[in-house]
Amino acid sequence: MGLATNTTISIGVIGLVYAVGEASDTIYSNIMDSLLSQNLINTKVFSLYLDSVSSSRGSILFGAIDTTKFLNELVLIDIVPQPIWNGSTLYSAFAVELVGMGITVHGGKTTNFTISPAVVVLQSEITITTSPADFTSPLFKYFNAYDDTQFTGNVYIPCSLLNDSSSITVNYLFSSSSASTMIKIPLSELIFPLTNPVYALYEGDVLPDLPFSGEACTFGIFTGSYGYYFLGDTFLRSAYVVYDLDNNQVGLTQASFEALNASSNSKAGGGSIVELKAGETGIPGLRGGSLSRSTGPVESKLTSSGSETSTGTLTATETATQTGKSDGVAPMSRNIDLGTVSWYWEG
């Protein structure tokens, strides 16, 4: 086991993508390839857990899953291959299909928004989450937010919403061939003070005239350019994600904030860290907080059609299945440190 505690690089990019996505004229053996070839992991799988915005710690597990870090069931979603110049497709990014979005407020009342299915990329090296305009427009209106990304690079939202944010969530529904899952982001994970250096105004920028009174904060969801949507840290903190490069799938479920650190590993037997074996046909269906594998139905309360001010139930059966201020995408330099990173492998 190794533990990284210091770095001279200010942007936390490790490079765990598909080999075809490497920024080089020639494909080289990246971290995942090297770990596999040295028999340090059994399959090209890693798990990412960022924890809440108030936490200073996060973890990456190579070749394993930590069941203390998530709630409910780990649902497998197919990665969407990307089109290339010759008309064929290629697995080059962690892209999945987003089919529904909504807001849940006090008392569990859910407002759903009609959106066209969109391909979104799980992008941990950027802070902001970008989403389709047919979701962000009513979302901003709902929270009285103001989109000023073209000028100051921020979406502004009343800081007073933090007083009620613990019971409000912004919901993202994902689907593939035969599985669906929803991730709910607490509003408290999406509102940031302007004193935060990640979101502070640049020199010379001034606040626009805002449609609300009181102190202004920034919002962690932007409108993305059509066809290019990225789920950054403001989304990923609420999700536990397992990336399977061998089987072109991600395991996705709700993260457990401030989860207890596992004190045992899979060698000790009965621990919370599950080592993945060579030859497995996909990510195992695990429930958070246990080592049991489940194949039961997964319930979601956001309909894929997403009619406004309505609630519905979508039942899905699990199967082993930058950026300038004008484009609404957060600059790469606006990145939140992962903090302490845990490395795990058997050897």
Amino acid at the residue 232: G
- Cα–Cα distance, 344 to 51 (Å, whole number): 18
Sorted by sequence, the CB contacts under 8 Å of residue 54 that are 6+ apart come out as none
Q: What is the 3-state secondary structure (H, E, C) of 239-256?
A: EEEEEECCCCEEEEEEEC
Distance CA 334, CA 128 (A): 8
DSSP character string of 157-214:
EEGGGGGGGGG-EEEEEEE-SS-EEEEEEEGGGTEEETTSTTTPPPTT--PPPPSS-S
Q: Which CATH number fits domain 70-257+281-337: 3.30.70.20, 2.130.10.10, 2.40.70.10, 3.40.50.300?
A: 2.40.70.10
> Which helix (H) or strand (E) element contains residue 231?
strand 229-231
CA 187 to chain centroid: 15
pLDDT in tens, the chain (347 residues): 456 677 776 665 677 777 776 556 677 778 888 899 999 999 999 999 998 888 878 889 999 999 999 988 999 999 999 888 888 899 989 999 999 999 999 888 999 998 899 999 999 888 999 999 999 999 999 999 999 999 999 999 999 999 877 789 999 999 988 789 999 999 999 999 999 888 888 888 899 999 999 999 999 999 998 778 999 999 999 999 999 999 999 999 999 986 544 433 444 334 588 999 887 777 887 877 644 444 333 333 344 333 333 333 333 322 222 223 333 333 222 222 333 333 333 33
**What residue spans define the domains of the chain?**
70-257+281-337
**Dihedral pair phi/psi, residue 186, rounded to 5°:** -60, 140
Give the global pTM.
Answer: 0.78
